[in-house]
């Protein structure tokens, strides 16, 4: 009976999310007003606002202006209920592109009105309407009720599936409707850059700064193949380096790069681009069974955080995780050379599996032969770089982008780290703890771990915890690096806690509609749910929320690192209690 109730909860949760998603749909031509006048084009979205009470006056209306000639001043007025008020007045260095966000005045928000956008002696009037309804709140409520029910199923239900293949078509189907649209832009566009003879790694006349590929090059061949097939069977004669360069990138809008994908069949492309990620997700499950005998499958197969990162977002991390676990399986079987080979392949997608290679080498009998496992992948990576860009400048760009904690000379941080507090304290410059703390600690602890004969899984968890404590970007997808390691070492509570931590961060600080495929929700802040999600991010995704989550994350990472250090280096016996 309990099992039936829990599965009924899961079905209800899915139904709630699906129903809410219907009110999240927003096509490229939906809820937008676009007009061109005298070589100046103005786009405004949303122009139809839903809600009651204070909601309409808090909805952020995006105003985008693009001109053939430069302009240096924009004035935005709002008229409604017989009143005229200023919504925004901006002066800047001459440019052909500008984006800002405005809101309706509180006293006029219930009836709407007209936005007057004035630029270069042109005035473009944009009608704004307001529909008083509670349907948006109902749809938003269903979304989080559904997420809560799905999480309840994950926490309460014992899950074991002998026919894992039944989930493959389900997850492939889901993969086409969601994605991290900024990252998906790079997965898609990088193959086209190579096709058009442009290095995707280094900014150039054909590649705007901020749009370069800053990961290892392992995924580029798949992107190239997918884009080649797309051009062969679908065709898209308008695509070029120029059309892939979103002009807003030059003016502080790098995360809008995905907007240059207008005209692509993103349903097909999302499906093709994510095939390796879905395959890696299920291969990881297969290896986990081998490494642990039998494991609590819900911690991987239906773990909401893992499914979101690997299947829905399509992050490269899952490819590296799959090869990292394959490396652990080889190492446990006595094949250190193979372990180095598989860890090297994983590092060709995301660098973190490379942290295990010195441990594999130092604990092997034939260190030279074991080290040689790196060579095939090294030669392959060099070949990919040479074919798609150029080895020297590409590697330099990768190392610089991943080790220096600044963007345009200003310290930046994000995610599950205490360092997110620093910018709000007025700190614009901060040393790289990754370089000055993690690297020395990693070298020392690697030697000590080998001498102490620490288990490779415990060593890996400890290294990743120290990385999380010192790196200025700890995105929630990084947590799937350690979740399978915790499963292998019977630290299920740790795995659950990290999964819930990542989910809380996503729910509070990310917009659900942003992660929908742009083809079905282009203006992700334009739909009923999208407007409330934008408000949620504006209020809950603030510095205070991020600082609290970052601090709590740091405490959790430090606790886990402390438990590992105390057990592995100062005591002996069973794994530390979770």
At residue 84, the pLDDT reads 67
Report CA torsion sign: 226, 228, 229, 230.
positive
- What does the alpha-carbon distance between residue 499 and residue 477 come to, in Å, rounded to a whole number? 10
DSSP-based three-state secondary structure for 205: coil
Closest CA to 126 of 256, 24, 31: 31
pLDDT tens by residue, the chain, 578 residues: 677 888 899 999 999 999 999 999 988 888 999 988 888 899 999 999 998 877 888 888 999 999 888 999 999 988 877 666 777 889 989 999 999 998 888 766 567 888 899 988 888 899 998 888 899 999 999 999 999 999 998 888 777 777 788 889 999 999 999 999 999 999 999 999 999 988 898 888 888 888 888 899 999 999 999 999 998 887 776 788 888 988 888 887 888 889 988 888 899 999 999 999 999 999 999 999 999 877 888 899 999 999 999 999 999 999 999 999 999 999 999 999 999 999 999 999 999 999 999 999 999 999 999 999 999 999 999 888 888 766 655 555 555 555 555 555 566 888 999 998 887 777 777 777 888 899 999 999 999 999 989 999 999 999 999 999 999 899 999 999 999 999 999 999 999 999 999 999 999 999 999 999 999 999 899 999 999 999 899 888 778 888 999 999 999 999 999 999 887 776 554 444 44
pTM given for the model: 0.92
Instruction: Examine residue 174 and say whether the peptide bond preceding it is cis (omega within 30 degrees of 0).
Output: no
48 touches 129 (CB < 8 A) = yes
DSSP symbol at 204: B
- What does the alpha-carbon distance between residue 21 and residue 484 come to, in Å, rounded to a whole number? 30
Q: What share of the chain is helix, strand, coil (3-state, %, to 5)?
A: 60, 15, 25
- Spatial neighbors of 350 by CB under 8 A, at least 6 apart, are 215, 216, 316, 317, 319, 320
486 touches 461 (CB < 8 A) = yes
DSSP-based three-state secondary structure for 302: coil
DSSP-based three-state secondary structure for 313: coil
Containing 96, the helix (H) or strand (E) segment is strand 83-102
- Strands 48-50 and 122-131, bridge-based pairing: parallel
532 touches 20 (CB < 8 A) = no
37 touches 60 (CB < 8 A) = no
Structure tokens at 269: 């492309």
At residue 503, the pLDDT reads 95
At residue 161, the pLDDT reads 74
Residue keyed to tokens 């925004």: 88
- Spatial neighbors of 343 by CB under 8 A, at least 6 apart, are 323, 324, 327, 353, 354, 356, 357, 360
At residue 283, the pLDDT reads 96
At residue 323, the pLDDT reads 97
> What distances in angstroms separate CA 396 from CA 214, 386, 390, 392, 399, one per listed residue?
10, 14, 10, 6, 5
At residue 43, the pLDDT reads 92
């Amino acid at each position: 009976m309990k099992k039936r109730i829990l599965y009924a909860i899961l079905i209800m949760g899915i139904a709630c999310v699906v129903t809410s998603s219907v009110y999240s749909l927003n096509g490229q031509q939906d809820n937008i007003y676009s007009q061109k006048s005298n070589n100046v084009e103005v786009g405004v979205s949303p122009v139809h606002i839903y809600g009651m009470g204070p909601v309409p006056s808090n909805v952020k209306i995006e105003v985008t202006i693009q001109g053939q000639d430069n302009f240096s001043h924009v004035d935005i007025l709002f008229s409604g209920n017989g009143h005229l008020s200023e919504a925004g007045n901006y002066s800047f260095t001459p440019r052909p592109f500008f984006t800002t966000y405005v809101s309706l005045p509180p006293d006029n928000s219930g009836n709407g009105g007209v936005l007057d956008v004035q630029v270069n002696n042109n005035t473009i009037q944009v009608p704004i309407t307001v529909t008083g309804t509670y349907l948006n709140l109902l749809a938003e409520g269903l979304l989080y009720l559904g997420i809560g029910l799905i999480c309840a199923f994950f926490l309460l239900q014992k899950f074991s599936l002998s026919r894992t293949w039944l989930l493959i078509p389900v997850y492939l189907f889901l993969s086409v409707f969601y994605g991290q649209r900024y990252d998906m832009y790079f997965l898609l566009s990088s193959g086209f850059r190579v096709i058009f003879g442009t290095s995707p790694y280094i900014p150039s006349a054909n590649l705007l700064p901020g749009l370069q590929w800053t990961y290892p090059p392992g995924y580029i061949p798949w992107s190239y193949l997918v884009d080649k097939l797309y051009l062969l069977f679908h065709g898209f004669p308008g695509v070029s380096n120029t059309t892939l360069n979103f002009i807003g990138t030059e003016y502080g809008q790098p995360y809008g790069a995905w907007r240059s994908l207008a005209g692509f069949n993103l349903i097909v492309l999302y499906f093709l681009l994510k095939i390796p990620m879905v395959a890696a997700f299920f291969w990881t499950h297969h290896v986990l069974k081998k490494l642990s005998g039998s494991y609590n499958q819900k911690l991987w197969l239906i773990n909401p955080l893992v499914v979101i990162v690997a299947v829905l977002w399509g992050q490269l991390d899952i490819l590296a995780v799959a090869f990292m676990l394959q490396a652990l399986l080889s190492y446990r079987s006595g094949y250190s050379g193979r372990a180095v080979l598989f860890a090297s392949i994983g590092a060709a997608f995301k660098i973190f599996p490379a942290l295990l290679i010195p441990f594999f080498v130092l604990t092997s009998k034939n260190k030279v032969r074991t080290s040689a496992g790196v060579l095939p992948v090294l030669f392959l990576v060099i070949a990919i770089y040479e074919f798609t860009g150029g080895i020297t400048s590409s590697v330099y760009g990768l190392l610089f982008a991943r080790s220096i904690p600044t963007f345009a000379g200003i310290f930046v941080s994000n995610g599950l780290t205490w360092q997110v507090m620093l910018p709000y304290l007025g700190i614009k410059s901060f040393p790289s703890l990754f370089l000055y703390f993690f690297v020395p600690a990693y070298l020392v602890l690697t030697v000590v771990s080998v001498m102490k004969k620490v288990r490779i899984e415990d060593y890996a968890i400890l290294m990743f915890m120290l990385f999380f404590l010192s790196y200025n970007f700890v995105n929630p997808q990084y947590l799937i690096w350690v979740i399978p390691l915790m499963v292998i070492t019977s630290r299920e509570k740790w795995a659950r806690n990290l999964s819930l931590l990542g989910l809380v961060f996503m729910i509070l600080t990310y917009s659900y509609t942003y992660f929908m495929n742009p083809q079905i929700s282009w203006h992700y802040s334009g739909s009923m749910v999208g407007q409330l999600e934008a408000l949620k991010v504006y209020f809950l995704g603030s510095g205070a929320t991020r600082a609290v989550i970052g601090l709590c994350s740091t405490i959790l990472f430090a606790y886990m690192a402390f438990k590992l250090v105390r057990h592995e280096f100062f005591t002996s016996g069973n794994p530390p209690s979770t």
